[in-house]
Amino acid sequence: MLNPLRRHASCRTLAVSLWLAGVTGLPSAFAQPPAAPADDSAQGESLSADVQPAKQGAYLSDWYNQDLMLIGSKDISFGPRPADDIYLEYEYFGRKGPFELYGYIDLPKILDIGNSHDKGIWDHGSPLFMEHEPRISIDYLAGRSLAIGPFKEWYVAFDWIYDHGSRTANRANTLYSGLGTDIDTHSRVNLSANFYGRYQWENYGASNEYSWDGYRAQLKYIVPIDSFSNGASLTYIGFTNFDFGSDLHKDNPARTANATVATNVLLYSFTHLRFTLVGRYFHNGGNWEDGSVLNFGDGEFRTRSNGWGYYAGVGYQF
C-alpha cells in the first residue's frame, strides 16, 4: 500500500501565518477603494499601519511583496506519521484593485534533512509543493460597500494546494472555493473568515479523488503586540481550519470525516529580516484517525494525528 501524505509536512504551515503578518512591510498604497476600506483587514494588506510602517523604496514593488525563508519543522501531523523537515520557501502577497493575493512555493527537504518517511527533492519524493489563496473583493467589483453588521467586506475566496509528487500515486491536487469576509472586532484584533467547499483531484491514491468531498471553515486572527526602538515589531498570528463532511471514513476506518488544525505564531520582524516560532495543534490531522494501526510495507505502526507540531523560520522580505 502506498503511503499517502508521506511527503508534505508544511501544508498550511508557516507560510500562511507569515502572509497574515507579512504586511509588516506593505506600503500604504496597498488599500481598498473608499467604498470598502480594509484598514484592519485580517488578511494582512494594511496591518503595516498597526504593526510596522513600510519604508519608502524598501521593497521591489509598492504592492507585490515577496520573501525567501528557510523553515525547520518538527512533528507535523498532516499525514499518519509525524514528519520533520527543513525546506526552502518562496512567498508572495499583495493587494491590487479587487485582487488580494497570497501564495508560496516549497522545496521540501532542501538540505536533505528530515525523517525517512518524509520524502523530498533528493530522495525521490516531491520536488515541489505550493499553495495559492487569492480572494476577489465583491464590494470592489460592485463599487459600493456590502457591509452587514460586523461583516465589513465580502470576497469570492479560493485556496489551491498542489503537491507534485514523484508519481501520480504520490501527488495531491486540491481546490477549495467559497466565500470570505473581513470582520470588524472594534479592537486591535484583526479577524477574517472563509468558508469553502472542497474539490479533490489526486490525493495520494485516497478514495475521494476526483470528487467534491467536504468543506472547510477557516478563521484567521492577528494581534499586534509591540514595536521596539530597534525598528522591530512583535505580532501574534493565528488561524484555525476546521474540515468536515468528508467521505474518506466510509471505506477506511483509519480515516475521519473531520479534521482540525489550530496554528499559533509569534513573528519578530524588521523591514527585511523575519524570525518566526510556531506551535500548531492537530486533531485528526489530514483526516487520519489517531491511534489506527497501518502498514505501508515497512511494518505496522500506529497513526499519530493528534498533538503538537512546531516550526522555526528565518526569512528575508524584499
pLDDT at 26: 34
Q: Residue 247 contacts by C-beta under 8 Å, 6 or more apart in sequence?
A: 207, 208, 211, 213, 214, 257
- Cα atoms in the 13 Å half-sphere on the side-chain side of 315: 30
- pLDDT, tens digit, for every residue of 199-214? 999 999 999 999 999 9
Q: What percent of the chain has pLDDT over 70?
A: 82
CA separation for the pair 193, 220 (Å, rounded): 6
Domains of the chain: 45-50+62-317 (2.40.230.20)
Indicate the average pLDDT of the chain: 84
- pLDDT, tens digit, for every residue of 25-38? 333 333 333 333 33
CB 135 within 8 A of CB 98: no
pLDDT at 46: 24
Give the closest residue to 72 by CA, choosing from 309, 317, 301, 296.
309
Q: Residue 168 contacts by C-beta under 8 Å, 6 or more apart in sequence?
A: 202
14-23, 161-170, 177-186, 198-207: least confident range:
14-23
CA separation for the pair 102, 194 (Å, rounded): 14
CA separation for the pair 49, 192 (Å, rounded): 18
CA separation for the pair 88, 276 (Å, rounded): 14
CB 271 within 8 A of CB 231: yes
pLDDT at 123: 78
Which three cell numbers mark 97?
484593485
Q: Measured over all CA atoms, what is the biggest interatomic distance in the chain, rounded to whole angstroms? A: 61
51-55, 176-180, 266-270: least confident range:
51-55
Higher pLDDT, 180 or 42: 180
Q: How confident is the model at residue 170 (pLDDT cuts 50, 70, 90)?
A: confident
Q: What percent of the chain has pLDDT over 90?
A: 72
Phi and psi at 139, nearest 5°, equal -60, -45
Q: Which region, left, alpha or beta, applies to residue 214 given φ > 0 means left and ψ of -120 to 50 means alpha? A: left
- Burial class from Cβ neighbours inside 10 Å (0-12, 13-18, 19+) for residue 60 reads exposed
Checking if the pLDDT of 44 tops 70, the result is no
Q: Find the mean pLDDT for residues 177-195.
A: 96
- Burial class from Cβ neighbours inside 10 Å (0-12, 13-18, 19+) for residue 57 reads exposed
